[in-house]
Structures are given as structure tokens and as C-alpha cells.
Amino acid sequence: MTDSITLTTYQKSNLEKIIISTPDSVSGIVIGGRWEAVVRLLPASNVIIVTDTNISGIYGKRFPRFPVLKIRPGEDSKRLKTIESLAGKLLNSGIDRSGFLLGIGGGVVCDITGFLASVFMRGIRFGYVSTSLLSQVDASTGGKNGVNLGETKNVIGTFRQPEFVICDTTMLRTLPDDEYSSGLGELIKTGIIGDRSIIEILEDNYADVLKRNRDILSVLVAKAVRYKASVVAKDEKESGLRRVLNFGHTFGHAVELHDGVKHGFAVASGMMLAATFSRNKGLLRDDDFNRIMHLLKRYNFPTEINMDPAKIESLILHDKKKAGSDINFVFIKGFEKPLIKKIPLQEVIDFYRQNLKGN
């Protein structure tokens, strides 16, 4: 646990700024403003933008006037070879240690930009315009940056905070429907483990949430960021408490890479299993369990998981969160009551085997 990390929140009309201060960094997350204002946060020169081709197609004309490096959209880009290729381009661009990387994109662009900025010349400055719901509510807060290796997610990475993150919820209007749903999956996760008012808003404002109402989304994103930042402030390097954020992720990460399922859908499946596991162990009451299932169903997450049970074992074995023959599994005892328990890996695998339908 780190006591020297502090969290400050400023609110001005519709704009909220959450500041995470660590001994060697200050990271400001701004929710509710216009993304074009990013130009005010950038140095006058020596800036390079990293984005993907989807984002540059939609927003590129309005980017600040700096060189742009584009990656292919999607999880496949989260590989060391992308980092190597981008680092070569940075070198050719003449950028030096005082340079600044601006990532404009979803979780993939943020992870790549953060990792690249952490290792290039042993670390240069960076910040994000976070463009997907998933990255606004989760990926761009907290300073974890990583790429995948083989079938293991995010196993090569760093902890380093971006100087700023801008979350402009009007950008979510151009997000494809399935990507928007994927972000809702992570939002529901945060509501379950950390802030039940998120669950209430999602239950009570279904139509507006689906319409991507800017104001409701800004409230939801701010709540999610506030919760995540509070957890990160207490445990930046994931030595304890931060693991609660992995609720639904043991299974989620396995299916995400293996089956190419989008992150939030994979997490939603993982949450269903983790909630069932929690209920079976007598930790979670039936009414809380039913409320979670009802909400997931309402937002169209599949309630049945088809996966060859034989595959799950090797995938879970690859999960970097396992410690020897045990695993730190995140259960829930109710809303806002996550519980990390070290249990035998075999127990998790047996549970999955019993609860997965073969395909």
C-alpha cells in the first residue's frame, strides 16, 4: 500500500477533474469537457500523436497539428512488434527525451501509447484523449500499460501514469454499438464492486443510456473514474486492493484472447460466473445475484457461455494473476463488497467446467 498517493477532485459546472498524485507523477483526468481543448495541455513542439486508423478517419482533421503515427485498430495490434515499429518511427522523427506522446483512441491505443512512452528512451511524457466507453471508464485511468504475449493478456507492461486523460463523452456517439456495449460491461463491473449508484443509474435510465445521452454518460464516467482512482491511490502497483478491479477478469481475459470476444463482453461473462461462484459459496444473497443477472440480461449480455470446458484449463493456467497452484479470485459478498480469496486453481477450473456449455 502507498500512503503517498493522493486524490483530489475539482468540479466546475459539467466539468470534473480528478487528480491522482504519486511520488513521481501527477495525473489529471478531465471528464465532461471538449476533447479539442487538449491542445492547451500539450507542449508547443516535440509532440507525436498515436492513434488508430478508425479514429484518425473520424477525428483526424481536428487533431492538433503534430505528426501522427497510426496503428491498425484492434487487439491484434497490442504486440511487442507494434511497439518496436512505432519506436523506430519515433527515432526517425527525431523526437528526444523531452518529447511528448499523445494517444488518441480506445484502450488499445492507450495501452500502446503508455507502454511505448514508458520504455522509449527510458521514458518520455504522455497523455490521452480517451475515445471509447471502455477506455474512459477503465483503461485510461490507473497507469497500467501493457501488450499481450502469445495467449496471455497484458503480460508485458509497466506502471506509469499519463499526465492527463481527457474523457469527452460526445466522442462516444461515433463508437460502434458492440464497442459501446463492451464499455457498459466494464461500467457494470465498477457498479457492482465499487459504486452501486452506477447500477441504479443504469437501471433507471435505460433508454437514455442506450441513446448515449452525453450528460448521463459524463456522470457515469466520472463515477467510474473516481472509484478506480480511489483504488489506484491506495494500491498503485496491484499488491493487494487493486486486484478487486479484476472481478470477472480471470475468465474474461482467457476468453477475450482465445475467442476474440470484446473485453467488456468477456468481463460480463466472467462476472456472471464469478457471481454464480459467489452465490454457490454462500457469499452472495439471491436477490443481489438476481439483480446482477437481470441488469446484464437487460443490456443484452449473453447469459449462457458456450465454450469447450477442456480449453479453459490451459487458458486459466496462462493467467498472470495465478500464484503457484493457487489463484487470487475476486468474489462478491454484495454490491460494493468485493472479496479477494486465494483458492486452489483446481477449484476454479472445476467450477468453470461445471458451468460452461461445450460448443
Ligand X SMILES: NC(=O)c1ccc[n+]([C@@H]2O[C@H](COP(=O)([O-])OP(=O)(O)OC[C@H]3O[C@@H](n4cnc5c(N)ncnc54)[C@H](O)[C@@H]3O)[C@@H](O)[C@H]2O)c1
Which residue's CB is nearer to ligand X, number 76 or number 200?
A: 76
Read off the amino acid at residue 260: G
Count of CB atoms within 10 A of residue 232's CB?
A: 26
Which residue's CB is nearer to ligand X, number 95 or number 187?
A: 187
318 is catalytic: no
Catalytic residue among 65, 92, 122, 304: 122
Which residue's CB is nearer to ligand X, number 176 or number 302?
A: 176
Rounded distance between C-alpha atoms, residue 198 and residue 48, angstroms: 36
- In whole angstroms, the minimum distance from the beta carbon of 233 to ligand X comes to 15
327: helix, strand or coil: strand
249 is catalytic: yes
Catalytic residue among 242, 243, 262, 279: 242
253 is catalytic: yes
What Å distances lie between residue 278 and 102, 242, 273, 337, CA to CA?
Answer: 41, 19, 8, 11
263 is catalytic: yes
- The contact set with ligand X (CB under 6 A) reads 52, 54-55, 58, 73-75, 78, 105-109, 111, 131-132, 134-135, 138-139, 142, 144, 153-154, 171-172, 174-175, 179, 182, 263
228 is catalytic: yes
Assigned C-alpha cell, 260? 476474440
Phi, psi of 65 (to 5 degrees): -80, 75
- In whole angstroms, the minimum distance from the beta carbon of 3 to ligand X comes to 22
Count of CB atoms within 10 A of residue 246's CB?
A: 23
- In whole angstroms, the minimum distance from the beta carbon of 179 to ligand X comes to 4
What Å distances lie between residue 105 and 64, 118, 175, 218, 271, CA to CA?
Answer: 14, 18, 11, 17, 26
294 is catalytic: no
Residues 136 and 130 sit within 8 Å (Cβ to Cβ): yes
Catalytic residue among 226, 263, 279, 318: 263
Q: Which residues contact 210 (CB under 8 A, 6 or more apart)?
A: none
113: helix, strand or coil: helix
Which residue's CB is nearer to ligand X, number 8 or number 53?
A: 53
200 is catalytic: no
258 is catalytic: no
Residues in the chain: 359
- In whole angstroms, the minimum distance from the beta carbon of 109 to ligand X comes to 6
- In whole angstroms, the minimum distance from the beta carbon of 351 to ligand X comes to 24
What residues act catalytically?
122, 144, 186, 228, 238, 242, 246, 249, 253, 263
